Structure 1
Amino acid sequence: MLLGRSTMNQSLRIPVKISHLIPIGFLLLFNFTASAQGDSTLAAWLNTHCPSCAAKSYQKTGVYILESGEDALLARAWLTQTARQSIDVQYFIWGTDNIGILAAEALLAAAERGVRVRVLVDDFLLEAENRVLASLNNHPNVELRIYNPKHHAGVSVLERIYYLFSDFKSFNQRMHDKVAIFDDLISITGGRNMADEYFDYDSVYNFRDRDVLLAGSVTADVKENFDEFWDSSLSLPVERLVDPLSGDSGESLRDELRSYAEDPANFDPKIRQMINNTTSRIRDVVADMVWTDVEFINDTPGKAAESLDEKAYGRLIAEVRGAQESILIQTPYLVFPEGGLALLAEKVVEGVRVRIVTNSMPSTDNPAAFSGYQRQRELIIRSGIELYEFRHDAAVRDTIIAKTRTNTDAGISLHAKSMVVDDSRLFIGSFNLDPRSAQLNTEVGVLIDNPGLAKALSRHIETDMSSENSWAVSEDFNPDHIASRRKNLEVWFYGLLPITSLL
């Protein structure tokens, strides 16, 4: 479960960057909620604090949009502690930083309570050592599988080269899904991976991101999709990839993490206030859920389509075609797949207002993707689409990101993937508006038909588009010159390569 950029001490497997200590303080949250809740189950808690939830959940879904990284992390932490039967998680990235360590410790703790834990992670950015993978998987209540392992897990350099040249498309096909399911009752999906920068705790830069918490009927569809990936021949058990004997016991690993977390020097005093407020905040979330119709959209394992009619992209295209008044899109990477720009240009001619906010060159974390957008930018503007580029110094970082002693000077980059159509329907998910999401990566998300939620999401996106957070781009102005010379050179270099279909 510790799968991203490594910050781990190789002997103790604990963070060595003391500047990132606050997330580890969340480990105390799990001990706090355990004593506060006793043996209560998630279902029992919902029955107590939302007596009408059970009846509503048969046909409707409760929806709560998680805008801040702090709320998104607290929700996951509380649900992990409260679950008593099963936890299923599916991610593209699971970091070896503090958030990744926090989540691994929490899931091991759940497994020790008897909860069945299943973790499915894509192989592409996997950096965890074999012994860490084996240690986690050695717990009798934990199962860990790796999706499409052709890069790292159990793969030699020669095998990697073979896969690269023998089946290039499959080599590049990734599981971009981000899903967590708790006791088959509540699920979370959206744009956040499991790493510091997705929850506002990185000291260098953090993502402006978005998730949605779902309680009720749609969770069955989320679970069905998870099971399809779990059972896919592309998802291999860790014991088939690494030697189980190379790992320690799960108990040994957790003891090391807990010892580190219980050192008072390793967390900010602010964490105590957050711990004390957690249960009341979760009650507020449940009370504020909007019960409505929700459609879960997804792709199938192994997606590598020549056609753009795959389920997720095709469903989003249908929503765009049906727009009568307005389309508002927020995407970190904007590289139109074939026919995409023409469709939106057609909607503009029909009188539909189309607005898009994406990363600027100064804010982007992906110069390769920006190179593809840069080539299309002039055509996008000429089509009549109102185009905005997110600022690297956006003022929203001071309002939506909880300030800590470590992230005060961190930059900000856009990572939220959302759309609002006619101020009445909305999408939140993992889908980027680019060829990779349309044709190559598997994606998930939810379509919600609810004017109240749509208007609320529109307000958040429009705030991100305001002058203190984004630049309005025109044929006469773009902020490329504000980016560093190095980043400009990176974008220029990638622009020379024939990689548009991979962006």
Structure 2
Amino acid sequence: MNRWLRLLLAGMVLAGGACTSLSPLQREQALAIAAQAQSTLDTCDRADACAEPSPLRALGTRAYAQSAPESPHHYALLLDYGQDALLARLNLLRSAQHDIDLQTYIFDEDDAGHLVLDELLAAARRGVRVRVLVDQLSALRHVDTLAALAGAHRNFELRIYNPVLGRAHINYPMYAFAAACCWRRLNQRMHSKLLLVDGIVGITGGRNYQDDYYDWDPAYNFRDRDVLVAGPVTREMTDNFEAFWGARRTRRIAELVDVGKRILREGVPVLPHPDFELPERARRMASDAADDALVDDRLASAALPVGEVEFIADLPRKHRRSHEGDVAASTHGLRELIASAQSEILLQTPYLVLSPAAQDLFRELHDRDDPPRVLVSTNSLAATDAFITYALSYKYKRRYLRDFGFEIHEFKPFPESAPIDPEATGAFDVQWRQDGTPVFTRATPPDSRRPLGREYSALRWSGFSANQPVPLARGGVRFGLHAKSMVVDEHIGVVGTHNFDPRGDNYNTESAVVIDDPAFARALADSIRRDMAPENAWTIARRPRPPVFSGLEYSLAKISEHLPIFDLWPVRYATSYEFMPGPGCPLPLPPSDPRFRDCYEPVGDFPEVSLGLKSVMTRIFTAFGAGLAPIL
């Protein structure tokens, strides 16, 4: 039998296996077995489900008491630090009296994931209705875990959104088959993220449920941002969650092929729970979540009173064929806000890849007689977790700087003053000098990333080079930007899940909280500006003009950039600059300042990157990657 015939037969077998499904009778049997296994024991008989008091939940009670239909009152709290974001979630889960609704793209089985899952199950056992909705491509790792959760407790239910091939998990061959048979559906993911407690307090933003969103990964973590909101806007959040919970693409886990067969074959297993990698860290976080004084001092007391809050969110119908080509609610709302800008836009996105419509919008803004200033905070190649996406962004830097007037600041992999907690990663032994400054000693193995952590689905299985941060010239725990936020005219603040990219426009469902309040907007602006500060980011600016033929070089580079396939012009328009403070340069300057090059030193296109094959690959994808824009 020749090689091609063997491959054809293997493909046919794979296709047959991938497309198998449970019969209606098998589905009902699996659901019945799971329901019968569910515990009915409630550990509390009080009306409040033995909820613990929480200053964060109290914000919701207070906001609703202060609100009237014509005069809503809210409280808003930025969650910049990963440790704070996890602390807030655990504290709120323990305060739930009636309902917990959790919606996320990624839910991992690591320390952070297990800690949250433990709290969700504890809430269910004391009488709280708990509903968890996870996208298929990033759901819990093991079929046994899902099968166990299907029969865990009558008050707990987990559902999977858009299970391609009718399964909870798909392996690489199944992924390849799904890409061949149903590429668009494979890419239509639920990127929305939401935690609601008793319908009065909600959290949304960039974070998923995985160690690297809370500074708990020993190799690579995300500098991310959430916002906690308390008040009447949570009704809109609840309605949006209900739409996804009952959507036609949402499935109960016991009726999925792999989970259902596991239950039919062996029954509902005991819920696996491996030991925490760093048990003392988990214990300390669990203890802190019960400390009302700590939560109040660190979190609740920092909440800002604000007026009206808007929740702009896509619905599951975005994924219906009848809605293809429509401008989704989240995209429409964000574009309207950008178009309304008069003086300044602060835009923060991990992946600076713009759709044609977004490019037209920014070009129109720049063409105004008095255009708003547009400052962009995004990842450097050294910091990003999405190498190919960065390559495409790199291709269009001339356009971003010259045609759109962007001021771009690229996040460093080892930021000095960003809201991060290197000690929490467990990657360092920490000692302290006499002057109080820390000394970190590397104590963990080299960088090791997992496909589950990827937020862009199309290239999830595309290989090591696409799913790994690039190698760096020095070691240490690396941080990459993941926050998705915007401030318009220092008056309107936006925190959400949308990366301002084509995936968010066309494939993913997204959501965002919009707060029209100067105090909140200033707080968010200060947070973004800190990420753009010289100690945390490099500034992108035009290279010095060549002494001769500068106009010809620019024209040839622009022509090369516009070619649909090839872009092989060897000299790029822009490069990275490092601020060099001194007597004549006390403060950072924008690239438009005539003194910019007196105070900034060029440090190359890819500072901190260990140059080699990756650099070559970047240029390859710069040359050939334009067609990937819609799925990135």
- TM-score range (shorter-chain normalised) is 0.7 to 0.9
Give the Cα–Cα distance (whole angstroms) in 2 for the partners of residues 283 and 84 of structure 1.
19
SS of 2:615's equivalent in the other structure is: helix
Tell me which residue corresponds to 1:491: 618
Q: Which residue of 2 aligns with 1:219?
A: 234
With over 3 angstroms needed to count, the CA separation of the structure-2 counterparts of 1:235 and 1:268, relative to structure 1, is closer
Root-mean-square deviation (CA), in Å?
2.9
Q: Which amino acid aligns with 1:337?
A: S
For the Cα contact (< 8 Å) 1:202–1:406, is it kept in 2? yes
For 1:78, which of 83, 91, 112 is the aligned residue? 91
CA distance in 2, matches of 1:122, 1:269: 26
1:228 to 243, 263, 269: 243
Q: Residue 70 of structure 1: CA displacement?
A: 0.7
Whole-angstrom distance in 2 between the partners of 1:278 and 1:376: 49
What is the CA–CA distance in structure 1 between the aligned matches of 2:502 and 2:606, rounded to whole Å? 26
Once the two structures are superposed, the pairs formed by residues 15-164 of structure 1 within 5 Å of their partners are 41=51, 52-58=62-68, 59-126=72-139, 128-139=141-152, 140-150=154-164, 153=168, 160-164=175-179
Closer, same or farther in 2 for the Cα pair 1:390/1:48, shift >3 Å? closer
1:344 aligns with 2:358: no
Counterpart in 2 of 1:418? 485
In the aligned structure 2, how far is the partner of 1:240 from the partner of 1:427? 38
- Which of 475, 480, 483 in structure 1 is aligned with 2:605? 480
Residue 4 of structure 1 aligns with which residue?
Answer: none
Paired residues for 1:179-198 under 5 Å: 179-198=194-213
Q: Which amino acid aligns with 2:209?
A: M
Summarize the Cα distance change of 1:302–1:165 in structure 2 as closer, same or farther, 3 Å threshold: farther
> CA distance change for structure 1 residues 444 and 130 in 2, over 3 Å: closer, same or farther?
same
The structure-2 alpha-carbon separation of the partners of 1:486 and 1:186, relative to structure 1 and needing over 3 Å to count, comes to: farther
Equivalent position of 1:458 in the other structure: 525
Match of 2:629 in 1: 500
**1:396 corresponds to which of 389, 407, 417:** 417
Structure 1 residue 387 displacement after superposition: 1.1
Tell me the residue number matched to 1:327.
345
Amino acid at match of 2:79: L
Return the offset for 1:471: 0.7
Counterpart of 2:538, as a letter, is W
Of 278-287 and 102-111, more deviation after overlay is shown by 278-287
Residue 534 of structure 2 is matched in structure 1 by 467
* Partner residue, 1:379: 399
Judged with a 3 Å threshold, the aligned counterparts in structure 2 of structure 1 residues 249 and 182 are, in CA distance, closer, same or farther, namely: farther
Q: TM-score, normalised by structure 1?
A: 0.84
Structure-2 change in CA distance of 1:269 and 1:183 (3 Å): closer
Gap change, CA 1:355 and 1:233, over 3 Å in 2: same
Deviation by residue 1:237-290 (Cα, 9 ceiling, x = unmatched):
10110223567768x437x56xx46x9x83159928962883113324334322
Structure 2 residue 379 is the aligned partner of structure 1 residue 359: yes
Matched, 1:318 2:331: no
Is the counterpart of residue 279 in structure 1 residue 292 in structure 2? Answer: yes
Q: Deviations along 1:51-87, whole A, 9 cap, x unmatched? A: 7434225522211111111110001001111112111
Relative to structure 1, the CA distance from residue 247 to residue 300 in structure 2 (aligned partners, 3 Å threshold; closer, same or farther) is: farther
Alpha-carbon distance between aligned partners in 2 of 1:161 and 1:269, rounded to the nearest angstrom: 38
Identify the residue that residue 18 of structure 1 maps to in structure 2: none
Residue range with higher mean Cα deviation, 270-279 or 147-156: 270-279
Amino acid corresponding to residue 55 of structure 1 in structure 2: A
CA distance in 1: counterparts of 2:425 and 2:328, whole angstroms: 45
Q: What is the DSSP-based 3-state SS (H/G/I as helix, E as strand, rest coil) of the residue aligned with 1:357?
A: strand
SS in structure 2 opposite 1:207? strand
Identity %: 33
- Bigger Cα displacement from structure 2, 50-59 vs 278-287: 50-59
1:16 paired residue number: none
2: CA distance, partners of 1:279 / 1:436: 40
Asked whether the 8 Å contact 2:377–2:409 carries over to 1, the reply is yes
Matched, 1:309 2:327: yes
Deviation at 1:225, TM superposition (A): 0.4
2:270 is equivalent to residue 237 of structure 1: no
- Structure 1 residues 442 and 490, CA gap change in structure 2 (3 angstroms): farther
Distance 1:100 1:375, change over 3 A: same
Alignment of 1:167-178 (within 5 A): 167-178=182-193
Contact 2:108/2:138 (<8 A) preserved: no
The gaps in structure 2 that reach 5 residues or longer are 1-43, 429-475, 544-574, 577-603
Distance 1:87 1:69, change over 3 A: same
Amino acid at match of 1:53: A
CA shift for structure 1 position 154: 5.9
Secondary structure of the corresponding residue to residue 176 of structure 1: coil
Shift of 1:432: 0.2
Tell me which amino acid in the other structure corresponds to 1:88. Answer: D
Moved more, 186-195 or 126-135: 126-135
| Offset, 1:162 | 4.7
Q: Could you report, residue by residue, the CA deviation over 1:357-408 in whole angstroms, capped at 9, with x for unpaired residues?
A: 11011110001211221121111011221111111111135x5326237144
Mapped partners of 1:47, 1:105: distance in 2: 20
Deviation at 1:352, TM superposition (A): 0.8
State the shift of 1:300 in Å. 1.4
Q: C-alpha deviations, 1:177-230, integer Å up to 9, x for none?
A: 111111112110000011011001110011110000111101111111010001
Q: Is contact 1:47–1:53 with CA below 8 Å preserved after alignment?
A: no
Instruction: Please tell me whether Structure 1 or Structure 2 has the larger radius of gyration of its CA atoms.
Output: 2
1:436 aligns with 2:503: yes
- Name the structure 2 match of 1:17: none
CA distance in 2, matches of 1:78, 1:309: 37
Distance 1:439 1:46, change over 3 A: closer
1:299–1:443 CA contact under 8 A, matched in 2: yes
Q: Shift in Å at residue 138 of structure 1?
A: 0.8
Structure 2 Cα separation of the partners of residues 329 and 49 of structure 1: 29
User: AA paired with 2:164?
Assistant: K
Equivalent position SS for 2:499:
coil
CA distance in 2, matches of 1:311, 1:198: 26
SS of the residue aligned with 1:153?
A: coil
SS across alignment from 1:164: helix
CA contact (8 A) 1:360 1:480 kept: no
Is the aligned partner of 1:207 residue 2:332? Answer: no
**Contact persistence 2:131–2:156 (CA under 8 A):** yes
CA distance in 2, matches of 1:354, 1:393: 25
1:302, distance to aligned residue in structure 2 (A): 4.8
Alpha-carbon distance in 1 for matches of 2:251, 2:191: 17
Equivalent residue of 2:384, what SS?
Answer: coil
Query: How far, CA to CA, are the matches of 1:50 and 1:440 in structure 2?
Result: 33
Report deviation, 1:47.
8.8
CA contact (8 A) 1:88 1:118 kept: yes
CA distance, structure 1, for counterparts of residue 219 and residue 342 of structure 2: 42
State the alpha-carbon separation in 1 of the partners of residues 349 and 289 from structure 2.
Answer: 35
Distance, in Å, in 2 between the alignment partners of 1:423 and 1:282 is 28
Once residues 339 and 313 of structure 1 are traced to their aligned partners in structure 2, the CA distance between those partners, rounded to angstroms, is 10
State the Cα deviation string for residues 141-163 of structure 1 (Å, max 9, x = none): 21111111116516587765553
Amino acid paired to 1:403: E
